[in-house]
């Protein structure tokens, strides 16, 4: 379908930085710097500085960031790891792929893990918590850190949707043992394909993930590999962030701060314009404890399907993330203990278009059509 207003307009994004992207492409093609070259190293240094962490490792997706991070701890088979069902399947897939068992907590009104549910799920087999910072808002990391300390649990943050978000002035993804991020095009900092990275202050995790991403190969003194690049310390994966994606993101980082400001501005416009309608808007963001980047602007309504269909007929590309909790997928063979909020919110959430280049007249058109729907 040709959308009057897309969920995100990649063409507009490209035009803003067209010359930079073309120059990067030419430089990489001419030099043949495709895999693990200087743009990747530059990206890792840029992001480490922004997040104020010691180490960043670029990988090919947040899925692999989670998989390699979880794998670096050496958890025994069937270890229990607490996370949520209202997330993308990658979160749980990474846990399963290391032989561990996902233990599912419910979510709160802000769509993040219900911190009051976590302790009820802890057993002698619990080894870690994977909080998912959903839609660009931080989880309650004070409470999560307190629980983790009390029970000696690891924290692996799934910050796929929350690069740049803060909690008490500190960047998400930097509270736990390791933070995992996505560079998927739909994210607030996106590449032109798949990409991701991990952030940590733990040298052992850094060194393990660094090697795991490239078939167990180590690091040489001048940067990328050991003298003998064929020194393989253990079986790893082909999970490298390629050089072109790193170059694209390095360029986009220059506009990241202003892009987040615009996302927050658009969210504020939506909230003011829609506040008198029978829908639930994102939780109030006036609290100084939270700084959101609005990877998504999510409303809730009991008329989800009707409003979704109505807006799409008007050629407004809205999304539902996600229509059912993960434990409802029979093929995943997860514990089916009902999680009331997770089930209810899945039947109510709709994500509206939000991206830095969206025009005021487009926002007005979206708002007008939502208002028209509720007048019927």
pLDDT band for position 283 (cuts 50, 70, 90): confident
Looking at residues 247-264, what average pLDDT do you find?
97
Structure tokens that stand for 250 in this block: 């390095």
Structure tokens that stand for 338 in this block: 């009902």
* pLDDT surpasses 90 at 136: yes
- Average predicted confidence (pLDDT) for the chain: 95
Report the C-alpha gap between 21 and 11 in whole angstroms.
Answer: 13
Q: Return the minimum-mean-pLDDT range out of 1-5, 155-159, 218-222, 313-317.
A: 218-222
- The string of pLDDT tens digits covering residues 162-220 is 999 999 999 999 999 999 999 999 999 999 999 999 999 999 999 999 999 999 987 65
CATH of the domain spanning 10-253? 3.40.640.10
Instruction: Locate the domains of the chain by residue range.
Output: 10-253, 256-375
Report the C-alpha gap between 194 and 294 in whole angstroms.
Answer: 20
Structure tokens that stand for 152 in this block: 């000696």
CB count within 10 Å of CB 219 equals 14
If you ran DSSP here, which 8-state letter would residue 193 be given?
A: S
Structure tokens that stand for 367 in this block: 């708002």
Contacts of 287 (CB under 8 A, 6+ apart): none
Q: With 0-12 CB in 10 A as exposed, 13-18 as middle and 19+ as buried, what is 42?
A: middle
Residue recorded with tokens 């501005």: 265
For the CA atoms of 70, 107, 345, 362, the dihedral, rounded to the nearest 10 degrees, stands at -70
Looking at residues 83-92, what average pLDDT do you find?
98
Structure tokens that stand for 36 in this block: 């693990």
Helix, strand, coil tally for the chain in percent (to 5)? 40, 15, 40
Residues forming beta bridges with residue 297, ordered by sequence position: 352
CB count within 10 Å of CB 302 equals 13
pTM of the model as a whole: 0.96
pLDDT band for position 88 (cuts 50, 70, 90): very high
Please report, for residues 180, 209, 230, 234, 239, the alpha-carbon distance to residue 215 in angstroms, rounded to integers and kept in the order given. 19, 10, 10, 7, 8
pLDDT the model gives residue 1: 74
Phi, psi of 242, deg, nearest 5: -80, 160
Q: What is the DSSP pairing of strand 170-171 with strand 166-167? A: antiparallel
Residue recorded with tokens 């909080």: 131
CATH of the domain spanning 256-375? 3.90.1150.10
């Amino acid at each position: 379908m040709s959308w009057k207003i897309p969920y995100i307009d990649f063409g507009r994004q490209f035009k803003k930085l067209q010359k930079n992207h073309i120059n990067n492409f030419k430089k990489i093609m001419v030099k043949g710097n495709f895999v693990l070259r200087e743009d990747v190293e530059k990206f890792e240094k840029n992001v480490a500085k922004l997040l104020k962490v010691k180490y960043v490792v670029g990988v090919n997706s947040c899925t692999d960031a989670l998989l390699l991070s979880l794998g670096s701890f050496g958890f025994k088979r069937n270890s229990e790891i607490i996370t949520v069902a209202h997330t993308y399947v990658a979160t749980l897939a990474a846990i399963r792929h290391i032989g561990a068992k996902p233990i599912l907590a419910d979510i709160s009104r802000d769509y993040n893990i219900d911190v009051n549910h976590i302790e009820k799920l802890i057993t002698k087999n619990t080894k870690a918590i994977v909080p998912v910072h959903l839609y660009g808002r931080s989880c309650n990391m004070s409470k999560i850190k307190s629980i983790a300390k009390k029970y000696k649990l690891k924290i692996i943050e799934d910050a796929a949707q929350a690069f740049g978000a803060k909690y008490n002035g500190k960047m998400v993804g930097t509270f736990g043992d390791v933070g995992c991020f996505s560079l998927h095009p739909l994210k607030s900092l996106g590449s032109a394909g798949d990409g991701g990275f991990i952030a940590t202050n733990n040298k052992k995790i850094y060194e393990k993930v660094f090697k795991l991403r490239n078939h167990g190969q180590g690091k040489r003194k001048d940067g990328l590999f050991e003298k003998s690049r064929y020194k393989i310390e253990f079986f790893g994966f082909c999970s490298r962030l390629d050089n072109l994606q790193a170059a694209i993101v390095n360029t986009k980082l220059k506009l990241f701060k202003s892009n987040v400001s615009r996302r927050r501005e658009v969210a504020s416009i939506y909230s003011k314009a829609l506040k008198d309608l029978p829908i639930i808007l994102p939780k109030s963001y006036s609290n100084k404890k939270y700084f959101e980047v609005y990877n998504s602007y999510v409303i809730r309504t009991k008329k989800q399907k009707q409003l979704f269909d109505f807006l799409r007929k008007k050629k407004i590309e809205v999304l539902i993330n996600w229509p059912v909790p993960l434990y409802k997928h029979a093929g995943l063979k997860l514990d089916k203990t009902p999680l009331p909020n997770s089930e209810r919110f899945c039947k109510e959430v709709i994500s509206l278009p939000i991206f830095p280049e969206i025009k005021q007249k487009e926002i007005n058109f979206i708002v007008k059509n939502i208002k028209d729907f509720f007048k019927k």
